[in-house]
Chains A and B, each alone.
Chain A
């Protein structure tokens, strides 16, 4: 299957700073990427959908100014958590679709964000 690489896998940052998480499709072109947030022992909650070259579409209740998403190329999307606070601590996961692979979405390995 196609490979999606997410970086970093873990990050600790101070409250008030910003953190950028990268999601790369390594061997396919991802026209659409999705960002999820997962709290411990809970399900994945879709935060936003990003299409290459256009603005991301955010799910209801997700602050677009807080979680900045950029999808500047067919292989890279970034999520920036701005002015992070301890309540932003979570597991963030991206996924990407390859039109040539049909409906399957491939997931990154996730990023554990801890805000102290």
Chain B
């Protein structure tokens, strides 16, 4: 499978701080980059997504930064809260089959 590399594997942030998760891809055919949040025992839920023709997208406390030339994108969670503690997955998909390939995941823990 085509890979999406995600880092860090785990992240601890103080309440109110900024959480930053990074992803990189190689397949230039990817044209849709979603981020998912998953709580234990639950399915992933879409947080925010971006297309490669946009360099940044913000929705509330969540921002995606996208660098097409570097084939990298990142998720920033501003004013991180304990309720944000979850596993976050970056992903990528292509047109046509629309298969979604997931990164390895980042376990975020926000300390109160």
- A residues engaging B (CB < 8 A)? 1, 4, 6, 32, 34, 41-46, 49, 57, 59-60, 91, 93, 95, 97, 103-110, 112
Q: Which residues of A contact B42 (CB under 8 A)?
A: 109-110
**Extra inter-chain contacts (16) besides given A103-B34, A110-B41, A112-B41, CB under 8 Å:** A34-B99, A42-B105, A43-B89, A44-B44, A44-B102, A46-B1, A46-B100, A59-B1, A103-B93, A103-B98, A104-B34, A105-B98, A106-B46, A107-B44, A108-B43, A109-B42
B45 within 8 A of A: yes
> Does B104 have its Cβ within 8 Å of any Cβ on chain A?
yes
Within 8 A of A (CB), among B19-65: 32, 34, 36, 41-46, 49
Q: Once bound together, how far apart are the Cα atoms of A32 and B95, in whole Å? A: 13
- A sample of 12 inter-chain contacts (CB < 8 A) reads A43-B89, A44-B89, A45-B102, A46-B101, A49-B97, A60-B1, A91-B41, A93-B43, A103-B98, A104-B46, A104-B49, A105-B46
Residues of A with C-beta under 8 A to B44: 44, 93, 107
When C-beta atoms are compared, the residue in chain A nearest to B107 turns out to be A41
Q: Shortest beta-carbon distance, B81 to chain A, in Å?
A: 22
Nearest residue, chain A, Cβ from B9: A41
Q: Are A46 and B99 in contact (CB under 8 A)?
A: yes
Name the distance in Å between A22's Cβ and chain B's nearest Cβ: 14
B93 partner residues in chain A, CB cutoff 8 A: 103, 105
Partner of A32, one of B1, B43, B45, B98: B98
